[in-house]
């Protein structure tokens, strides 16, 4: 092919990337981060690098939704995200961000930028693209307020899936269901919809070689800002208290937000129960009982 394969070519022909990779027209190097998808570093003919994730038999709209979410987060000009180069049904190609280690200063800046991202807001609770957490479909259909969105678009459908697969006990499922029935009384002060990442566990905060933190793998939507903060705490984030302190200085949180962390963690725990089983269902039930 004349001129070889460069980023401009990839942008114009993203739909052919799977074939180009299959026929080894692009050099591939496996990289960490492929728990659900296969993650690869692509080296083009001009020596530049891109990041690609692929998934055989990907759910329809998976990578299109992720691309839309990344672009929506980027439009806030707050926390940086990798540029979307292109996508196909089974493939997403992004700017390559050379990895580095988190630093206290870098994570403090991340906290301030995350507050600005949330403040950019959304048109409502939900999003105009299909919803996914990982590869699990979730509803982004708008809801009138956050309790309705959290209960009816997020937790209840996923809870039914976990129950159907036998991955949460009847008593734990009942506790979660009872919590949802009284969500209005424990959700805290009403807030306008925030522009949230939506799946912000520590693995989705990618620190570049220069210490700058990027957001990756979003389940972006208009939601509650405390959801992102609770997710950061679920599996641990380096310098978490530094992030939270910097966030609060930029945009103070509502009174009692720490007491609501377990509430916002119920959905990701139910998601993990539905996908993996194990002890996640019991943890979801334990969190729910704190509010009953």
DSSP state of 252: P
Per residue in 129-157, pLDDT tens? 999 998 899 999 999 999 999 999 999 99
- Residue where a domain stops, chosen among 42, 71, 95: 95
Residues 153 and 264 in one domain: yes
Q: Which helix (H) or strand (E) element contains residue 206? A: strand 205-207
Residues 149 and 284 in one domain: yes
How far apart (Å, rounded) are the C-alpha atoms in residues 239 and 249?
16
Structural domain contains residue 112:
yes
Residues 33 and 137 in one domain: no
- Residue where a domain stops, chosen among 49, 78, 95: 95
How far apart (Å, rounded) are the C-alpha atoms in residues 284 and 270?
6
Active site residue 199: yes
Domain that holds residue 90: 7-95
CB-based contact 152:143 (threshold 8 Å): yes
What is the number of structural domains in the chain? 2
Question: What angle, rounded to 10 degrees, do the helices at 104-119 and 225-234 form?
Answer: 150
What pLDDT, on the 0 to 100 scale, is given for residue 3? 52
> What percent of the chain lies above the pLDDT cut of 70?
94
Considering the candidates 49, 56, 199, 255, report the single residue annotated as catalytic: 199
* Residue 88, beta-bridge partner list: 91
Residues 112 and 245 in one domain: yes
Residues 85 and 206 in one domain: no
Residues 57 and 193 in one domain: no
Three-class SS state of 215: strand
Mean pLDDT computed over every residue of the chain: 93
Per residue in 41-54, pLDDT tens? 988 888 889 999 98
List C-alpha distances in Å: 124 to 128, 192, 194, 224, 246. Answer: 10, 8, 8, 11, 26
What pLDDT, on the 0 to 100 scale, is given for residue 271? 96
């Amino acid at each position: 092919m004349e001129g070889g394969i460069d980023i401009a070519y990839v942008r114009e022909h993203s739909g052919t990337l799977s074939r180009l990779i299959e026929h080894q027209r692009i050099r591939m190097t496996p990289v960490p981060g492929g728990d659900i998808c296969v993650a690869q570093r692509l080296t083009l003919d001009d020596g530049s690098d891109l990041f690609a994730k692929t998934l055989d038999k990907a759910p329809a709209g998976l990578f299109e939704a992720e691309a839309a979410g990344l672009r929506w987060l980027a439009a806030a000009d707050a926390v940086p995200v990798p540029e979307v180069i292109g996508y196909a049904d089974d493939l997403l190609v992004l700017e390559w961000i050379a990895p580095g280690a988190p630093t206290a200063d870098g994570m403090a800046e991340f906290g301030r930028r995350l507050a600005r991202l949330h403040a950019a807001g959304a048109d409502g609770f939900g999003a105009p693209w299909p919803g996914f957490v990982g590869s699990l479909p979730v509803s982004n259909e708008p809801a009138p307020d956050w309790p309705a969105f959290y209960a009816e678009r997020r937790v209840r459908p996923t809870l039914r899936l976990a129950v159907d697969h036998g991955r949460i006990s009847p008593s734990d499922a009942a506790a979660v269901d009872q919590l949802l029935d009284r969500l209005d009384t424990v959700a805290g002060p009403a807030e306008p919809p925030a522009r949230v990442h939506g799946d912000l566990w520590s693995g989705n905060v990618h620190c570049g070689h220069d210490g700058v933190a990027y957001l990756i793998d979003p389940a972006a939507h208009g939601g509650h800002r405390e959801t992102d903060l609770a997710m950061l705490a679920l599996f641990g984030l380096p310098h978490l208290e530094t992030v939270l302190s910097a966030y609060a200085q930029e945009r103070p949180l509502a009174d009692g937000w720490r007491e609501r962390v377990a509430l916002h963690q119920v959905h990701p725990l139910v998601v993990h129960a539905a996908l993996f089983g194990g002890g996640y269902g019991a943890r979801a039930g334990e969190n729910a009982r704190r509010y009953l």
